[in-house]
Amino acid sequence: LEERAEGGYKNWKFHGSNMRDFAFVAGNNFLIAEDKVGDTVIKSYYYKGHEKRGKEALDFGKRAIEIFNSTYGKYPYPTYSVVETEFPSGMEYPGLVYISTMYYDNAYSADHLIYTTIHETAHQWWYGVVGNDQIDEAWLDEGFATYSEGIFTEKEYGRGNGEFYYEILEENAKKDIEAGAYDGVILKPLSRYENWNDYGPAVYTGGAVLLNEIRKQVGDKAFFEILQTYYDEYSFKIATTEDFLTVCEKVSGKEFDDLFHKHLSSVK
């Protein structure tokens, strides 16, 4: 950050390296809580009256960075900001996430704040660092971020709670397919979804279920090696479903054509 006074105004110049896109939030009413994970400064920006949830957002963001650092690979940016905004849910950008002001209200369950923060933090790895075509292969970031919610749950609250989280995802996917919410295929371009009612179950839930099925087939050691290898090989690149399949097969020594066809239908 460079600051310069000029003609009664202040000019700021920002610099960021290896960032896929750029966003900012401006306001003069934010309170700030701050902490560190290694060399990374974690900041939570929140409004007056939301001090409790603002500090919780800092704690959740910090813990997520710690867990995903050890699970996937090191977070690459010097700062990470979790910001209370008017955005309706959550939104991710490199080094910065928007979290809805609704979730800072004590009238809402803390789970909304926890899991929105965790999900958007996971996008720092899956979308921010490992990029993908978000129009045609959205499951590669949304499915990974949703599955990361379960990883956070098992690391923070115990393996049993994590397994329960994955069971809920699988049950929800099964119910959505049976109800005709979507056809079980998660690799489709945005134009082939009618609305959020079939897009959400497919790319978020369906994508996470596919990852859990891979984990069941290869075991924890190989599964996490797959994720770490994928992160390492495709950092700051655009990865495809084919790329991920190749990593899965290379690391595990297994073939996944049948499993991928079941969920994706259009690879190989």
Could you read off the pLDDT of 207-228 as tens digits, one per residue? 999 999 999 999 999 999 999 9
Over residues 173-190, the mean pLDDT reads 90
77-109 exposure pattern, b = at least 16 Cβ within 10 A, e = fewer: beebbbbbbebeebbbbbbbbbbbbbbbeeeee
> How many whole angstroms separate alpha carbon 24 and alpha carbon 60?
21
Kindly indicate the confidence band of residue 76, based on its pLDDT and cuts at 50, 70 and 90. very high
Does residue 267 register a pLDDT over 60?
no
Is the pLDDT at 184 greater than 90? The verdict is no
Identity (one letter) of the amino acid at 22? Answer: F
* Spatial separation of the C-alpha atoms in residues 182 and 5, rounded to whole Å: 55
What is the pLDDT at residue 246?
A: 96
Per-residue pLDDT reduced to its tens digit, 26-70: 989 999 999 999 999 999 999 999 999 999 999 999 999 999 999
Mean pLDDT calculated for residue range 150-166: 96
Q: What is the pLDDT of residues 48-58, one digit of tens each?
A: 999 999 999 99
185-196 pLDDT tens trace: 899 999 999 999
Quickly count: other Cβ atoms within 10 Å of residue 34's Cβ.
13
SS (HEC) of 234-247: HCCEECCHHHHHHH
Arithmetic mean of pLDDT over the chain: 94
Q: pTM for the full model?
A: 0.93
Burial class (CB in 10 A: 0-12, 13-18, 19+), 250: exposed
